[in-house]
Structure 1
Amino acid sequence: MTGSTDWLAALRAYLLTVAAGALVWEAAHLPLYTLWRTGTTGEKLFAVVHCTLGDLLIALTSLALGLVLAGRRDWPVRRSGAVGAITVVFGLGYTVFSEWLNIVVRESWAYSDLMPVVPVLGFDLGVSPLLQWVVVPTLALHVARRAGTPRQTPTPEAVE
């Protein structure tokens, strides 16, 4: 009555969900950055695509680290909670670093007055990027777990 775990289907589902979620999130929170007022349409489009692809790489790397540190051969059926927690923590950690690097050090982007911020490690960090790295990977990991969980196939005896 049991099938085998399909980790490849889970990985595909995770990546597709992250890509779709990141694209929507990046487009939706663009007004929270000064680029919304100062950028051309092409610059805004480039930012959304560039950031979405970056998010996909961060999400894949974070999941890989989670799998290496806590995964099992039968992931996502087993150890999905531990892998998920590590994935989200790495994603959040990288986000804090990236926001600090690009806002404080490089000054390559800035928040608009609309961005809610929280003080983190001596600088104001946007709430939207933090929420993104909790909501999108958590949703993607849930979808991945469902995609990778074996389907219960009835035995011949159960069909009769």
Structure 2
Amino acid sequence: MTRLPEFTLIVFSFLLHFVWEFWQAPTYAGMTDLNHWDGIKLCTSATFGDVGFALTAFWITSAAARSRYWFAAPKAWQTLLFLAVGIALTVSFEYYYTTISMRWTYSDLMPLVPPFGTGLSPLLQWIFIPLAVLWLMRRQVPAERLD
């Protein structure tokens, strides 16, 4: 199981997104006012969602590339597809949760990106973290899997 690319993706995505969630907490209204345990639970929940986005983006890209090991030597279109799926999911979910369901709101610290008013921090998260995850995954894949 630990040799599956999805396992590596899950581990690195969880670790990096978990840190990012805490880092961006002040850009969401009310996050800095939560007690410690509630903040940890909320950030952990968001991280699981991020991992789900990463897996979805990975599987869509794997299907398009016809290989679960595309990340070992990714073509530009594969990396762009991986990022685009994550960004599309992020924009969609952020819009839904901040505009329709009002489950959360941004604080005054969050710069907004048109046209949907998506927060800059979650967009940057879905550029930097996936690129870092792919970089780390390339260093973990066994050489015999690439043949």
Give the TM-score, by structure 2 length. 0.85
Structure 2 residue 105 is matched with structure 1 residue 110: yes
Whole-Å separation in 2 of the counterparts to 1:112 and 1:59:
26
Partner of 1:147, secondary structure, is: coil
Q: Aligned residues, how many?
A: 143
Structure 2 residue 51 is matched with structure 1 residue 59: no
Post-superposition Cα deviations, 1:73-110, rounded to whole Å, max 9, x if no partner, equal: 65333445433221110000000000100001011100
Whole-Å separation in 1 of the counterparts to 2:66 and 2:139:
16
Cα drift, residue 37 of structure 1:
4.2
Deviating above 6 A after TM superposition, structure 1's stretches of 4 or more consecutive aligned residues are: none
**Are the aligned partners of 1:77 and 1:148 in contact in 2 as well (CA < 8 Å)?**
yes
Aligned to 1:12: 7
Partner of 2:70, secondary structure, is: coil
Structure 2 residue 36 is matched with structure 1 residue 41: yes
- Matched residue type, 1:24: V
Q: Which has the higher contact order (CA 8 A, sep 6+)?
A: 1
Cα drift, residue 11 of structure 1:
3.5
Partner of 2:109, secondary structure, is: coil
Structure 2 residue 127 is matched with structure 1 residue 134: yes
Partner of 2:139, secondary structure, is: helix
Aligned to 2:117: 124
Structure 2 residue 26 is matched with structure 1 residue 28: no
- Matched residue type, 2:124: L
Cα drift, residue 10 of structure 1:
4.0
Alignment identity in percent? 27
Post-superposition Cα deviations, 1:40-92, rounded to whole Å, max 9, x if no partner, equal: 43332221010011111110111000100124365333445433221110000
**Paired residues for 1:146-157 under 5 Å:** 146-148=139-141, 150=143
Whole-Å separation in 2 of the counterparts to 1:114 and 1:51:
19
Whole-Å separation in 1 of the counterparts to 2:76 and 2:140:
15
Partner of 1:148, secondary structure, is: coil
Sort the Cα spacing of 1:82 and 1:36 in 2 relative to 1 into closer, same or farther, 3 A: same
The structure whose Rg is larger is 1
What 5-or-longer segments of structure 2 have no aligned partner?
A: none
Whole-Å separation in 2 of the counterparts to 1:73 and 1:116:
36
- Pairwise CA RMSD: 2.2
